[in-house]
Structure 1
């Protein structure tokens, strides 16, 4: 199994939004199933506001926040806290995660070829698109 490379956001160059020449035709809706009672998703977050949305999502202890691209230059930010395995669909690009869970719980993504564990250190991590596209499961324990 090949491990995907995680890079803390601070170590990367600033993100540049790609020109959005075909809004609507290339868009998709990322899903995490199931979302448990009290968990929710914030849709249509701009690229410029994504990191602020991840921080705002995870200010409370015990929260894992996952942002993924929608294909139209915007992002879906999932607010998660229940320890369980979930299925992913339409996870294609621009995956970023801020894990603020307690007790060292990890956010674990995996698929047929890639496996990534995000530590509970409160930093924002991005995952390369090739791995994001491969992921079909998520566990936040």
Structure 2
């Protein structure tokens, strides 16, 4: 006769590390699609480094740099220059833009309810309230 041993479910489950509450448990990955050849994104930029990273990103003329929160206290900074309309996903909070494009090109965000544009300025970092950022689903730089 074979005896069956029944363990409580908790005893059968593999061990898992407790979530790190200090870094947040609801992080997300912001995306801009498409990113064209030569465009790129820096991930995991700290809040303390965000403005300096935007300034470094937009150092050259003709560049628009967009930073958005990742939900874990860090930011994704996008280096963009191709004039086109793009789709956004996971744009939820902490949006900041430094637009160093030339020829009067603007960075424009829009969604079902809100619209914002940021004119070219080599030294102005524009910020957007979170409830407005959350509405955005499109971006145009041109």
TM-score for both structures, normalised by structure 2: 0.84
Partner of 2:83: 83
Following the alignment from structure 2 to structure 1, what is the Cα–Cα distance between the partners of residues 24 and 95?
20
Q: Distance in 2 between matches of 1:137 and 1:114?
A: 11
Matched pairs, number = 122
- Between the aligned partners of 1:35 and 1:78, the Cα distance in structure 2 is 9
Alignment of 1:42-53 (within 5 A): 42-53=42-53
Within 5 A, what are the aligned runs for 1:34-113?
34-113=34-113
Residues 79-138 of structure 1 deviation map (CA, whole Å, 9 limit, x = unaligned) = 000000000000000000000000010000000000000010121010000110000000
- d(CA) in 1 for partners of 2:94 and 2:65? 14
Q: Which stretches in structure 1 are left out of the alignment for 5+ residues?
A: 1-19
Q: Tell me, what secondary structure is at the counterpart of 2:21?
A: coil
Bigger RCO (CA 8 Å, 6+ sep)? 1
CA offsets 1:41-95 (integer angstroms, 9 cap, x no match): 0000000000000000000000000000000000000000000000000000000
Counterpart for residue 129 of structure 1:
130
Which protein is bigger by CA-based radius of gyration? 2
Deviation at 1:24, TM superposition (A): 5.2
The aligned residue for residue 6 of structure 2 is none
In 1, the alpha carbon distance for the partners of 2:71 and 2:28 equals: 6
Runs of 4+ in 1 over 3 A off after TM superposition: none
* TM-score, normalisation: structure 1: 0.84
